[in-house]
């Protein structure tokens, strides 16, 4: 089992420093300085500079992520796990911190935790191929543990040994499976994973908040005629526009009384949190495209890709809104990321 464990855990791919090289010019100097220190092997200096930067911008997701990578490379696994865990709490829409958490958990043979983290990464971004690959590796490890236990309980079971041998062969050095996660360098033509782009810091001349919506990719005919789908589309556009313009009152009014807030928040606490988050932003941009609208009576489901930018955060994700029609208006009753 030790043989299988070493290759399964080492084969998991973590997001690395190359991802920070795509940062916009507004932050390029800070990120590149820290990255250069890491490439030079000066991890203590890199960590000190990252911490110094975070004193002024404590919520900056890029630098916090980079700090976690530095902690991991420095062998400070517990600190790295804490850093990535806080990132998943503050930015649950970002899949990369979940992925790196899984790599760290796998390195500690905590494969159930690794599996859970990777499933969260995939739920957030279903097209995140690295997380899918890593999840396959974790499943292989869990399978090897189960097969070994089966042999322990019944060593005459001839069907189990070939399966365990197959997993060991899959992760052996001769199989072509990398023995260590590849680390992209500044000269690499393509990073392993692209970190969500960071928007430049707003200036005094920043343009007004905007919401952009492209034409629907697929709209199913409404049961009551051609206007119902258009009403749903207009509601979603109004929701994006209210969010982008920081019109919190109009934004919240588009959520129906049946809406169940995520996590353990009640409706009042959720609304207060949304007010604080939206009003605290200098500029918000919300772009939605590829709408797919399915209307059935007084219920509608809308799926689309959402590009969100605010301050130093830029996130692209799939989103699903479920709406109900009450009287003459449609309201959101469920909101899911990654659907």
Positive or negative, the CA dihedral 88, 198, 128, 77 is negative
Render each residue's pLDDT in the chain as its tens digit; 339 residues: 334 344 444 556 665 544 433 444 444 578 788 888 888 888 999 999 999 999 998 988 888 998 999 999 899 999 999 999 999 898 888 888 999 999 999 888 898 998 999 999 888 888 888 888 888 888 888 887 777 777 777 776 777 667 667 656 665 544 444 444 433 222 222 233 333 333 323 333 333 444 544 434 443 433 444 568 889 999 999 999 989 898 989 899 999 999 988 777 788 888 888 888 888 888 899 999 999 999 999 999 999 999 888 877 788 888 899 999 988 889 999 998 875
Q: Which CATH architecture has domain 2-175?
A: Alpha Horseshoe (1.25)
Q: Which CATH architecture has domain 210-337?
A: Roll (3.10)
Q: How far apart are CA 102 and CA 99, in angstroms?
A: 5
Domain spans of the chain, in order of start: 2-175, 210-337
Q: Is the whole-model pTM more than 0.85?
A: no
Would you state the pLDDT for residue 339? 56
Q: How far apart are CA 193 and CA 95, in angstroms?
A: 11
210-337 shares the fold of 2-175: no
19 burial type by CB count under 10 A (0-12 exposed, 13-18 middle, 19+ buried)? buried
Residue carrying the six token digits 């902690």: 71
- For residue 196, what is the enclosing H or E element? none
Which residues contact residue 268 at a Cβ distance below 8 angstroms, ignoring those fewer than 6 apart? Answer: none
Beta bridge partners of 156: none
Q: Which of 67, 38, 65, 36 is nearest to 50 (CA)?
A: 67
Helix (H, G, I), strand (E, B) or coil at 234: helix
């Amino acid at each position: 089992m030790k043989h299988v464990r070493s290759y399964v855990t080492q084969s998991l791919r973590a997001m690395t420093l190359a991802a920070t090289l795509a940062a916009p010019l507004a932050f390029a100097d800070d990120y590149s300085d820290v990255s250069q220190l890491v490439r030079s092997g000066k991890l203590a200096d890199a960590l000190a500079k990252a911490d110094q930067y975070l004193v002024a911008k404590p919520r900056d997701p890029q630098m916090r992520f980079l700090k976690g990578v530095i902690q991991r490379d420095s062998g400070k696994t517990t600190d790295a796990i804490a850093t990535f865990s806080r990132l998943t709490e503050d930015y649950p829409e970002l899949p990369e911190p979940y992925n790196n958490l899984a790599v760290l958990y796998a390195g500690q043979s905590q494969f159930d935790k690794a599996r859970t983290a990777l499933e969260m990464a995939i739920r957030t971004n279903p097209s995140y191929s690295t997380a899918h690959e890593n999840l396959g590796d974790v499943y292989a490890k869990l399978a090897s543990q189960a097969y070994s236990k089966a042999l322990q309980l019944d060593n005459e079971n001839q069907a189990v040994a070939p399966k365990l041998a197959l997993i060991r062969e899959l992760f052996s050095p001769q199989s072509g499976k990398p023995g260590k996660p590849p680390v992209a360098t500044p000269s690499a033509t393509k990073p392993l994973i692209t970190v969500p782009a960071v928007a430049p810091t707003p200036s005094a001349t920043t343009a007004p908040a905007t919401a952009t919506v492209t034409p629907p990719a697929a709209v199913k005919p409404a049961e009551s005629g051609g206007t119902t789908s258009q009403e749903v589309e207009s509601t979603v556009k109004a929701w994006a526009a209210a969010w982008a313009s920081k019109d919190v009152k109009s934004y919240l009014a588009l959520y129906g009384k049946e809406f169940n807030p995520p996590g353990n928040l009640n409706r009042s606490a959720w609304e207060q949190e949304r007010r604080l988050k939206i009003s605290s932003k200098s500029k918000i941009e919300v772009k939605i495209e590829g709408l797919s609208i399915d209307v059935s009576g007084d219920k509608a489901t809308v799926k689309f890709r959402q590009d969100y930018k605010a301050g130093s955060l830029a996130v692209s994700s799939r989103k699903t809104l479920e709406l109900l029609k009450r009287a003459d208006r449609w309201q959101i009753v469920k909101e899911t990321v990654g659907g």
